Each structure stands twice: as C-alpha cells, then as structure tokens.
Amino acid sequence: MAYTQSLYPILRKQNLARGIYDYTVHCPEIASEAVPGQFVHIRVPGFQLRRPISICGINRQVGTIRLVMEIRGAGTEVLSRLNEGELIDLIGPLGHGFTLLSPHKKAVAGGGGIGVPPLLGAIAHYGENGTVITGFRSASAVILQDDFKAAGARAILCTDDGTMGEHGFVTGALQKLLETETPDIIYACGPMPMLKAVAAMAAEKGIECEISLEERMACGVGACLGCACRTIKNGVEGFSHVCKDGPVFNSKEVVL
C-alpha cells in the first residue's frame, strides 16, 4: 500500500462546539484506502512537526474524509483558521485501524471528549448492533450525537456535570451496560484513566477490546521511532510504535 502526501481542498467546515471544528476534505486517494481508526498527519504552516488527527468519517463514493479537531495548542489553533476552499496538506491514511467484525455482531464503543471522533466510523459499521457511550465535560462540549444516531447506533451520552444526558463518566455507564449485555467487541478512545478502566472491565468479562492510543509523533510512518508505547507481543515486552503498529491496539497487548 502506498502512502499519499498532497494538498487537498477543504469542501466543508463546521463548528461543532467551542473550539471544535469538523472538516470535510476531498482526498480520493486517502478515502479509497482508509479504514476507521486510521489517522492523517497534517502539516501546519510555520511548524516543524505535523499534527496527527484521526479519520472520523470516510466517504469512498465522493472521495472525502472527515476530520474533527479541537484546538489544544498553537498548531491546532492555526489549523482551525483554515476555511472552506483552502488546501490542507495531509499524509495518509496512516496506522492500523479498528478490527471490524461481521456487522451482525454486537459492538460497544466508549469515548471521552476529543477521543470520540475516531469511534464514529467503527461503530457505524455495526448499524443497529452498535452502541456508543460518549462522555464530555459539559453540554457545551457535546459533539457527534446526531451522527451516531444517523448511523443507526444506540447512543448513550454522559456529561461530567450532568448538564446533558446521564450525570457521570463513560466508565460508569459501560459498567452498567456490561451487567446486562455481553458485546462481541469493545472499542475505546480517550484519556488514559478511561482506557485503563475500559481495558480492565473487558478483561474481567473476557470481551475483546481495542483501544486507540496517542503519543507525540515526528514522522508518522514508523521510521523515526519517536512515538513508542510499551506492549507485550507473544509474551515479550518491548516498544511498539503508535503511528505504525497503532494507534489502535488490542488492549491485552498494551502495558497501560
């Protein structure tokens, strides 16, 4: 499989919540190869390093991908100023995405904050057999609920302050769900404490679990060995690389 790096036009930009933007980018080469959970590496004018952003949606027919990004620092701030009609420099699709089972199986995805976008593509694959539990700080930060519903998934919403959906965290809602249901696979993306808790619950119940990790990156393609994370493969502990071996890992393989 070849990698593509090029300038691609932004067809649509939407503001989803404060500081969170949703871009639809026309990049047929990337769209035709991409799978949910993979990411693109975005060049930011004036900065040395590219910024990794997950692919939130893929439309092969029209050749577009969707990127949802939050302003976190100087680089994402510059990216947030890009507008419809302007060009964005992407390398992609990169990394190893989510394992998708037969759409007849039952999948549950848990995501927190800006960890939610990569789960959309994965859970959409399961239509009505998909359940997504998302957690946000507050009502004002909630994103993508309509998209999950449009994809046919059952969407359970939590906010830390109770201003929308259930009052509480993703982990609490997942715990409750697992008391009555046993999905075939669990996906998770979000802050480390959440990933640890989800991985522990899945292990306890013996359910397959895949988690998407983040690490600071330089090359994004597996060459510089910058984005190391601790993993156990075939009983041997060592470093894997989030950009190439991940960002999605089987939770049993990762030393969290």
Partner 1 sequence: MADLRVEVAGVPFKNPVIPASGAFGFGREYEKFYPLSKLGGISCKGTTLFLKDGNLPPRIAETPSGMLNSVGLQNPGIDAFIEHELPYLQTKDLTIIANVAGSTVEDCITIAQKLEGTAVDMIELNISCPNVKEGGAAFGSTPQMAAAVTKAVRGATSKPLMVKLSPNVTDITAIARAVEAEGADAVSLINTLLGMRIDINTRRPILKNNTGGLSGPAVFPVAVRMVWQVANAVKIPVVGMGGIASGRDAIEMMMAGASAIQVGAAIFADPYAPVKIVDEMNAWLDEKGIGSVKEIVGTVKPWGPDGQ
Ligand X SMILES: Cc1cc2nc3c(=O)[nH]c(=O)nc-3n(C[C@H](O)[C@H](O)[C@H](O)COP(=O)(O)OP(=O)(O)OC[C@H]3O[C@@H](n4cnc5c(N)ncnc54)[C@H](O)[C@@H]3O)c2cc1C
Ligand Y SMILES: Cc1cc2nc3c(=O)[nH]c(=O)nc-3n(C[C@H](O)[C@H](O)[C@H](O)COP(=O)(O)O)c2cc1C
Contacts 24+ apart (CB under 8 A), 71-76: 71/19, 71/20, 72/114, 74/47, 75/44, 75/47, 75/49, 75/51, 76/51
User: In this structure, are residues 170 and 190 in contact, taking their beta carbons and an 8 Å threshold?
Assistant: yes
Out of 71, 222, 253, 256, which residue is the one contacting partner 1 (CB under 8 A)?
222
Out of 19, 28, 63, 226, which residue is the one contacting partner 1 (CB under 8 A)?
226
d(CA 172, CA 198) in angstroms, rounded, equals 10
Regarding 51 and contact with ligand X (CB under 6 A), the answer is yes
Regarding 3 and contact with partner 1 (CB under 8 A), the answer is yes
Q: Which residues from 27-46 bind partner 1, rule CB under 8 A? A: 43
d(CA 121, CA 242) in angstroms, rounded, equals 19
Map residue 18 onto helix, strand or coil: coil
Q: Which does 239 bind (CB under 5 to 8 A by kind): ligand Y, partner 1, ligand FES, none?
A: partner 1
Regarding 234 and contact with partner 1 (CB under 8 A), the answer is no
Other CB atoms within 10 Å distance of the CB of residue 233: 12
Regarding 160 and contact with partner 1 (CB under 8 A), the answer is no
Size of site (CB under 8 A) for partner 1: 29
Residue 40 backbone dihedrals phi, psi, to 5 degrees: -115, 155
Q: Which does 39 bind (CB under 5 to 8 A by kind): ligand FES, ligand X, ligand Y, none?
A: ligand X
Nearer to ligand Y, 50 or 66 (CB): 50
Alpha helices by DSSP H, 89-132: 117-124
Other CB atoms within 10 Å distance of the CB of residue 131: 22
User: In this structure, are residues 225 and 241 in contact, taking their beta carbons and an 8 Å threshold?
Assistant: yes
> In whole angstroms, how close is the CB of 151 to ligand Y at the nearest point?
39
Nearer to ligand Y, 71 or 221 (CB): 221
Out of 39, 126, 148, 249, which residue is the one contacting ligand X (CB under 6 A)?
39
DSSP letter, residue 254: B
Out of 12, 14, 32, 47, which residue is the one contacting partner 1 (CB under 8 A)?
47
Out of 224, 232, 233, 239, which residue is the one contacting ligand Y (CB under 6 A)?
224
Regarding 87 and contact with ligand Y (CB under 6 A), the answer is no
Map residue 91 onto helix, strand or coil: strand
- The site string for ligand FES over 189-228 (x = CB under 6 A, - otherwise) reads ----------------------------xxxx-xxxxxx-
Q: Which does 69 bind (CB under 5 to 8 A by kind): ligand FES, partner 1, ligand X, none?
A: ligand X
Nearest one of 97, 101, 116 to 36, comparing CA atoms = 97
Chain positions contacting ligand X, by CB under 6 A: 39, 49, 51-54, 68-70, 72-76, 114, 117-118, 214-216, 242, 247
Q: Which residues sit at the interface with ligand Y, rule CB under 6 A?
A: 218, 224, 226
